[in-house]
Amino acid sequence: MRSIAILVALLPSALTAEVLTLPSRATQAIVYPVGGQITHEVAVSLDVGRHQIVLPDMPPNLVLNQLRVSAPGLRLGALRYRQDITPPRQNTETTAVTAAKQTIKDIERQIQAVRDTIARNALDAQAAEDRISFLSALGSNDSLPADPDSLRAIARMISDETRAARQTILETSITARDNLDQITQLEDSLDNAKAALDALIPEAKDRPWMVLDVVATQQLTNSPVRISYVTDDAMWAPTYTIRLSDNGTPRVELDRGADVTQYTGENWTGIALTVSTQSPSAQIDPSMLWPDKRRLFDPADLQRQRSQVLQTDSATFAAPSADAPEIVEEISTTQIGTSGLAVTYTFSDPVNIASDADAVRIPFDTLSLPATLSARAVPYLDNRAYLVATVTNTSAEPLLPAYDSLRFYQDSLVGSTEFPEIASGAKADLGFGPIAGLQLKRTILNRAESDRGLISRSNEQTEDIRITVENLTDQAWSMDLRDRVPFSEQEDLRITYSATPKPDTDALDDRRGILQWTFPLSAGGTKTLNTSTKITWPEGQHLR
């Protein structure tokens, strides 16, 4: 605290202002898909006059022009933010942090005690080796007594002492193995203890500090001062668990939530959290539309220009001739962004999110949507049909896209996949896995190519396809079968097709050549569809 007072005393306005050093903390956060807006808050009690409020624990990497200060009852002056050469922070260590640090110290002492035991055992083993060496040398000593009884006594003594020494070496080896296993276990416990401490205090030890010059126009008691800043180090993504039930009236239930993480360098404890679909880092101004200037050029001139380039030295390029046409290439970019107003979700309960450590999942609510079931068959790619639930977003807000969503059918997990964005009032198809009893078979009955006609010299390709759907289940299904035929946008490439029965559409979702049949298929029933395609093109051309 004294070091902070000394630094503040060096500031010009500190000579006439009361200095208050107050801890602040993050109290509110609005998190975007990328980034966030964080608010720190501190309560001040001030007399009328000039003051300096020192906040010694601001988050790192703030951008000064993105700071916003709200202080009712105060007239704001200069704001100073210091990232480097900051005073030491106060010791605000919690009991949990103290206990975690003590656990680390205890484990480190246990590891050292085991290592000391290993060192003592090593000394015992070395002493035993020395005894064995001495006894071996004693047995070959020429000065030993010659009488048999003395020799037997010496031999017995050497044998007993050698056995005892080797027993000591064996026991120390066994103990050493046990001690090494114990050290391995203790080191694992030490790693876990350090990880537990990191989870409690993952933020940096050094924190920037901020000084606010203020003038109180009236006496204030516990008046809030709020400092908001923008960060790129926070994010959220929607998450869904989707359940399809079919008890006569099919319904899809969506358990919605948010996965939130943050890397701001400070822990959020008891924070008021809001997540928003707004994207402040995305484009916010409409694009500029430039005139479309078109030019004509003679292909022969362009060919001559290319020839001139090829005739020059390989390290240089030929300059275009003065009368060569100017070729202008217009560059077009596509901007992808959001439209309409952003959707925000504010959570009623305070939230704790540690920096660089926690990934927090927060539930929103559960939506129940009516569904229409069908069996979708794509025999060109699949040999089984898939259960599809078509739902309408009857809520007043869009359903946001998600990279992953768990899907259940009648409480059984069928898998996980992406979830599409569904606008309010819009429809979407959600898959719930294959239907094993709906078998698909797509057979190419005929594929032929030929040169026909002595005069036209055109080429022709024909293809006949038979598609069979067999329902081996014990229930009827509403089938949605899709296949494709080729199409052309070239006048000389002629494509015709026929189908029995005729498809409901041959341009599904405005995709030309995508055929769709919709029909009921009873339990045990079979349906056969046929298509025939003919393609013709001029001689000398290649089809692809």
Per-residue model confidence as pLDDT tens digits over 36-45: 999 999 898 9
Q: Are 380 and 455 found together in one domain?
A: no
Say if CB 124 and CB 167 are below 8 A apart.
no
Q: Is the pLDDT of residue 125 over 50?
A: yes
Here the tokens at position 75 are: 């007239």
Residue 411: its pLDDT value, please? 87
In a domain, 315, yes or no: no
In a domain, 325, yes or no: no
Residue 201: its pLDDT value, please? 64
Residue 506: its pLDDT value, please? 93
Residue that is last in its domain, among 156, 177, 200 = 200
Residue 181: its pLDDT value, please? 86
> Quick one: which of 430, 439, 441 has its CA closest to 471?
439
- Say which residue, 465 or 303, is predicted with more confidence: 465
pLDDT digits (tens, 9 = 90+) for 269-291: 899 999 998 888 777 788 888 88
Give, in order, the Cα–Cα distances in Å from 395 to each of 363, 404, 422. Answer: 17, 21, 10
Residue 458: its pLDDT value, please? 59
10-19, 102-111, 523-532: which has the highest mean pLDDT? 523-532
Here the tokens at position 467 are: 């598609």
Q: Are 257 and 374 found together in one domain?
A: yes
Residue that is last in its domain, among 432, 454, 485 = 432
Here the tokens at position 401 are: 């896209």
| Dist CA 169 CA 281 (whole Å) | 70
Q: Are 364 and 471 found together in one domain?
A: no
Residue 6: its pLDDT value, please? 40
Q: Is the pLDDT of residue 318 over 70?
A: no
Using only C-alpha atoms, the chain has a radius of gyration, in whole angstroms, of 40
Q: Are 351 and 458 found together in one domain?
A: no
Q: Is the pLDDT of residue 393 over 80?
A: yes
Question: What confidence category does residue 374 fall into, taking pLDDT thresholds of 50, 70 and 90?
Answer: very high
Q: Is the pLDDT of residue 392 over 70?
A: yes
Say if CB 353 and CB 262 are below 8 A apart.
yes
Q: Are 77 and 221 found together in one domain?
A: yes
Say if CB 494 and CB 450 are below 8 A apart.
no
Residue 61: its pLDDT value, please? 74
Task: Please report the DSSP string for 174-234 in residue order.
Answer: HHHHHHHHHHHHHHHHHHHHHHHHHHHS-S-S---EEEEEEEESS-EEEEEEEEEEEESSE
Q: Are 213 and 254 found together in one domain?
A: no
φ, ψ dihedrals at 137, nearest 5°: -70, -35
In a domain, 489, yes or no: yes
Q: Are 228 and 239 found together in one domain?
A: no
Helix/strand/coil for 131? helix
- Say which residue, 411 or 6, is predicted with more confidence: 411
Residue 283: its pLDDT value, please? 78
In a domain, 334, yes or no: no
Residue 144: its pLDDT value, please? 61
pLDDT digits (tens, 9 = 90+) for 137-186: 665 666 666 667 666 676 777 777 777 877 888 888 888 888 888 888 88
195-204, 346-355, 492-501: which has the highest mean pLDDT? 492-501
Q: Are 477 and 366 found together in one domain?
A: no
In a domain, 219, yes or no: yes
Q: Are 378 and 244 found together in one domain?
A: yes
Query: Could you tell me which residues are beta bridge partners of residue 53?
Result: 20, 212
Burial of 399 (0-12, 13-18, 19+ CB in 10 A): buried
**Residues, the chain:** 544
Task: Please report the DSSP string for 242-276 in residue order.
Answer: EEEE-SSS-EEEEEEEEEEEE-SSS-EEEEEEEEE
Q: Are 162 and 40 found together in one domain?
A: no
Q: Are 122 and 270 found together in one domain?
A: no
Average pLDDT, integer, range 17-28? 85
Say if CB 383 and CB 372 are below 8 A apart.
no
Here the tokens at position 188 are: 């694992």
Q: Which domain holds residue 7?
A: 2-89+205-232
The domain spanning residue 471 has which CATH number? 2.60.40
Say if CB 31 and CB 273 are below 8 A apart.
yes
What is the total count of domains within the chain? 4
DSSP element (H, E) containing 127: helix 95-139
Q: How many helices (H) and strands (E) in the chain?
A: 4, 23
Beta strands in 312-358 (DSSP E): 344-346, 351-353
Here the tokens at position 162 are: 């050698």
Q: Are 491 and 533 found together in one domain?
A: yes
In a domain, 317, yes or no: no
Here the tokens at position 421 are: 């964005």
In a domain, 305, yes or no: no
| Dist CA 169 CA 180 (whole Å) | 16
Average pLDDT, integer, range 432-450? 87
Residue that is last in its domain, among 416, 432, 448 = 432
> Quick one: which of 485, 465, 490 has its CA closest to 543?
490
| Dist CA 381 CA 388 (whole Å) | 17
Residue 86: its pLDDT value, please? 57
Is the CA virtual torsion 206, 208, 212, 213 positive or negative? positive
In a domain, 378, yes or no: yes
